[in-house]
Amino acid sequence: MQNTNQQINNIQEDEIDLRELFLTLWKKKFFIIIFTGLVTILAIIYSLMKTPIYEAKAVVEIGSYKHNNKVELLADVNKLSQTLNVLYIDIRKNQKERTSWIDKIAVLKKQKNFIEIHSLGLSNEQAKEELQQIITYMKSEHSKIINEILNQKDIEIKNIDRNIELLKSNNLITIAEDIHYVQKVKIPSIVEKILTQKQKLKNIEEQIKITQINILKTQKKDPTLTALNVMEKRSLESELSSLKINVIDLLDKKEVLVSKTLPRLLRAKAKIIEVDLKKLFEQKNILEQSLLPHNYKNTAIVGNIMTNDYSIKPKKKLIVVVAFVTGFIFSIFIVFFMEFIAGFRREEDEI
Under the banding of pLDDT at 50, 70 and 90, the label for residue 252 is very high
CA distance 307 to 100: 14
Residue type at position 141:
E
Q: Contact 127/121 with Cβ under 8 angstroms? A: yes
CA distance 23 to 245: 147
Instruction: Output the pLDDT for position 93.
Output: 83
Q: Maximum CA pair distance of the chain? A: 197
| Residue 9: pLDDT over 50 | no
Under the banding of pLDDT at 50, 70 and 90, the label for residue 143 is very high
| Residue 282: pLDDT over 70 | yes
**More confident: 169 or 90:** 90
Determine if residue 299 is left, alpha or beta; phi over 0 gives left, psi from -120 to 50 gives alpha, anything else beta: beta
| Residue 14: pLDDT over 50 | no
Region 181-202: mean pLDDT is: 90
CA distance 114 to 10: 67
Instruction: Output the pLDDT for position 1.
Output: 45
- Among 142, 144, 243, residue whose Cα is nearest residue 195: 243
Min mean pLDDT across 15-19, 211-215, 279-283 is at 15-19
Instruction: Output the pLDDT for position 10.
Output: 47
CA distance 19 to 278: 103
Instruction: Output the pLDDT for position 17.
Output: 66
Can the peptide bond before residue 314 be classed as cis, meaning omega within 30 degrees of 0?
yes
Min mean pLDDT across 56-65, 112-121, 159-168 is at 159-168
CA distance 77 to 69: 21
Buried-state track 56-74, b at ≥16 Cβ within 10 A, e below 16: bbbebbbbbbeeeeeeebb
Instruction: Output the pLDDT for position 348.
Output: 67
CA distance 160 to 158: 5
| Residue 132: pLDDT over 90 | yes
Instruction: Output the pLDDT for position 285.
Output: 92
Region 20-24: mean pLDDT is: 78
The terminus-to-terminus CA distance of the chain in angstroms comes to 37
Instruction: Output the pLDDT for position 141.
Output: 94
| Residue 16: pLDDT over 50 | no
Q: Contact 55/112 with Cβ under 8 angstroms? A: no
For the chain, the residue count is 351
